[in-house]
Amino acid sequence: MTPSNDPVEQALDRLAKMSEQLTRASEEQARRFDRQAKELLDRTEKATERALERIEKELRAQITALKREMAQLERRAQAARTQAAKRTGVRRPVRKTAAKKAPAKKTAAKKTTKKAPAKKTAAKKTTRKAPAKKTAARTATTAR
């Protein structure tokens, strides 16, 4: 019986050795896979961090540029206000001299106000005619 068990035992021994080798090989592959996965995750995290740093740096630069532009616009607006104040200040003395002549202009203004109501009435008549024209245009459009 030993000779018949010998080939079977040898086959079993070979199978056991092969099984152990396959187990070791698969464990080694699993370790390699884990290492590669970890490396990939690390690289991805680092790349993400670098991208976020670049984005943050760019945003800070743009915010700084916007702040500069806002300050410049504020200076321009202040300069425009100052110029406007100077212009109105220059005109005031002219208005003061015109104010001396104001009584004569007031009488002219009274005459103008008398004529103004007539113009307003004409404007009202024009306004009344305009809707009638619009209605005619609408009916012509509707008829088509």
What pLDDT shows up at residue 1? Answer: 42
Instruction: Report residue 132 as tokens.
Output: 């009638």
What's the Rg (C-alpha) of the chain? 48
pLDDT category of residue 2 using cuts at 50, 70 and 90? very low
DSSP structural state of residue 144: -
The DSSP string of 37-83 is HHHHHHHHHHHHHHHHHHHHHHHHHHHHHHHHHHHHHHHHHHHHHHH
Domain map of the chain by residue range?
2-100, 106-144
Given a cut of 90, is residue 34 above it in pLDDT? Answer: yes
| pLDDT reading at 106 higher than 80 | no
When pLDDT is averaged across residues 92-118 and rounded to a whole number, the result is: 53
